Amino acid sequence: MLPRRATVAALAALSLAAPASADDTWSNPFPGVRRLLRVTASQHIDALLVDLCAPGVSLRVTAPNERSRTVPAFGALVGAQAAVNGGFYNTANQAQTDGFVLHDGASWGGTDHDYTGPIAFGDGRADLVPHERVEGPQPWMREAVSGHPTLVVAGAARDNSGDTGLCGRNPRTAAGFTADRRTLILAVVDGRAAPSRVGMTCNELAALMIDLGARDALNLDGGGSSTMWLAGAGVLNHPTDGSPRTVSNHLALYARGSGAAPHCPPPAYRATYVMQTFPLAVTTLDLAPGETSTGYLEMRNAGTATWTPARTRLGTTQPRDRSSMVAGPDWLAPNRAAAIDRAVAPGMTGRFNFTLRAPATAGEYAEYFNLVEEGVTWFSDPAQGGPADNVIQVRVRTVPRPDAGVVAMDAGTPVVDAGMPVVDRPTVDVPSARDLGVELDLGPVAVDVPGDDGTATNDVAAGDGAVADDVDGPLIGETAGCDCAVGRGAAGGARGAVGLWALAIAAAVRRRRRLTRAG
C-alpha cells in the first residue's frame, strides 16, 4: 500500500503508448458486468463497468471481523462475483484506516478529514464525495470505503501533479461513476514493471477514468495493494508482491443476474401514470368528422429532475415525432400535443391539456404518446425511467355523421297509444255506404248520429251491456273519452274497435234510409 503523503522514489520518465495503439478486449463475465483488458506497450489495465441497475447487482464492504484478508480470500468468503482492494490503512494496525469504512450502515476505522473522501452505496443511491468536503458518514450510506485524492469531479480532471508524495507512477486502483450514477467503473493499473507495466500518475489515472466514462472518480489504495479478482477467473492483474497482499478493507461486487438492484439510483426523467379524461385505449373515442374532444393526461414525476413547461412536452411516438392524424387546434406542433401545465418537482403530479380532432375520413386512428425533455432525452431512452413509447395510447374513431333531420312521417299516419293495435283511420264515403246493400242488426248499441239539419244529435237507445261510442269523439286507439267496454263479453271483444266503427256507420245509414222511406 501507499501510505498517505508518503515519499516514494521517483520512477524514470517513460513515455506512454498513445490510446490509439491500445489492444482492447471486452467480455461479459457476469450479468450487468463488462470487463475491459487493455494492453499497450507500457500499460496493463483491467477494468469493470458495472450496471448498478442490472438485476442482482450490489456492492459490499468489509465488516470489522472480515478485515486483513487478501482480495481473493475476501471475495470467496462473502460469495462475491468480483472484488478489489479498498482504501488506505495503517500497516502496523489494519483496524486503523485513512478515512472511515462502512458496512451495513456501521462505521469502523478512521474518521473523515480534508484529504479523504468516500465512495458510498445506499438504498437507491451511489455517490462519491470529493476529498476536501468533510461530511463523515451520511444516513443514506450503507457501504463505503475512503480514498484520496479525488481524480475527477463533475467531468473535470483534478490536477494532482503537486502531490509528489503520492501521485508519481505506481500501480493504481480507482473507482468512479458515470454522470447518471447508474454505472460503477472499477480500474486496476499494473506498475513497477518497466517497460511493459509502468503504472500511472494520478493525472494519468484521471484521464483513464474519463476515457472509460467516469464523471466523478477517486483514487483508492495502490502499490502492492492493487488487486482485481473475478470468481472463476482468479486475480486478473499482476500484484507487485508476486501474489495478492493482505489488506485492511475491500470492495466486493455481486452480479447474480436476478433479484434486487438496491443501489440503482432513480433516473433523472421518469413518469408514472395517474389518470386521463380521454377513454382508455381498450375503447375508442367516437367522434364525427372534424369533431373535437378536449381533455387531459396526468403523470407523476418519479425522477430526480424538475419538469418545466419550457422543456417537458408530450410528444408522438410509434414512431417518434410523427405528425399526428388526430392533432387538435391547441397542439404546439403536429408532433407535440402539449407542454406540462406548470413546474413539477419530483414526487408531484402534473397535467397535459390537449384536444383531439377526428379526421374527415371514417375509420379508427391510434395515437401513441410519451414524455420528452426537449433537447435532453425521451423518458423511455436508456438510463431513464419510462414509460415505454407504446404505453400511452388514445384511439379515435371517426363515425359518419347521422342525417340532419328525422324522416318525415305521412300525415295520415295514425296516432297510436302504446300497447294498442296499429289501425288506419277509417274513412267512409256516405254514398258508397248507402250502396252497401246489407242491413246489419247492431243489437244493443247506442250511437250518436247527426240530425237531419246536420247539427242536432239523435240518440239511439242502447240496451243493457251496450257499448257507448261517440262517432265525433277521439281517434281509435286513444283512451281519453272512450270506455271501450263491449258488454265485457266475448262477442264484443271479437268485434274490436274497427268493427264497432263500421257497425255504427252501417246503423246510421240504415236509419237514414228508413226515415227517408217513412217520409
AA letter at 188: V
Cell numbers given for 502: 263500421
Collapsing DSSP states into helix, strand and coil, what is residue 225? helix
Residues of the chain with CATH 2.60.40.10: 271-398
The CB density around residue 68, as the number of other CB atoms within 10 Å, is 15
Q: How does strand 292-301 pair with strand 271-276?
A: antiparallel
Q: How does strand 100-103 pair with strand 106-109?
A: antiparallel
pLDDT at position 508 is 52
State the Cα–Cα distance between residues 303 and 345, nearest whole angstrom.
Answer: 9
pLDDT at position 407 is 42
The CATH number given to 271-398 is 2.60.40.10
User: Who's near 46: CB < 8 A, 6+ residues apart?
Assistant: 35, 36, 37, 187, 188, 228, 236, 237
AA letter at 373: E
Using CA atoms, how far residue 279 sits from 125, 295, 315, 481, in Å, is 38, 10, 19, 52
User: Who's near 230: CB < 8 A, 6+ residues apart?
Assistant: 29, 35, 81, 82, 236
The CB density around residue 271, as the number of other CB atoms within 10 Å, is 25
Q: In what order do the strands lie in the sheet with 23-30?
A: 23-30, 33-39, 44-51, 183-189, 172-177, 216-219, 150-153, 156-157
State the Cα–Cα distance between residues 357 and 322, nearest whole angstrom.
Answer: 16
The CB density around residue 420, as the number of other CB atoms within 10 Å, is 14
Task: Look at residues 330, 255, 336 and name the one whose alpha carbon lies nearest to residue 293.
Answer: 330
Task: Look at residues 103, 87, 54 and name the one whose alpha carbon lies nearest to residue 255.
Answer: 54
Do residues 101 and 146 touch, judged by C-beta distance below 8 A? yes
Do residues 165 and 126 touch, judged by C-beta distance below 8 A? no
State the Cα–Cα distance between residues 290 and 328, nearest whole angstrom.
Answer: 10
pLDDT at position 505 is 52
pLDDT at position 507 is 55
Listed as ranges, residues in the chain with pLDDT below 50 are 2-21, 404-504, 515-519
pTM over 0.85: no
Do residues 39 and 51 touch, judged by C-beta distance below 8 A? no
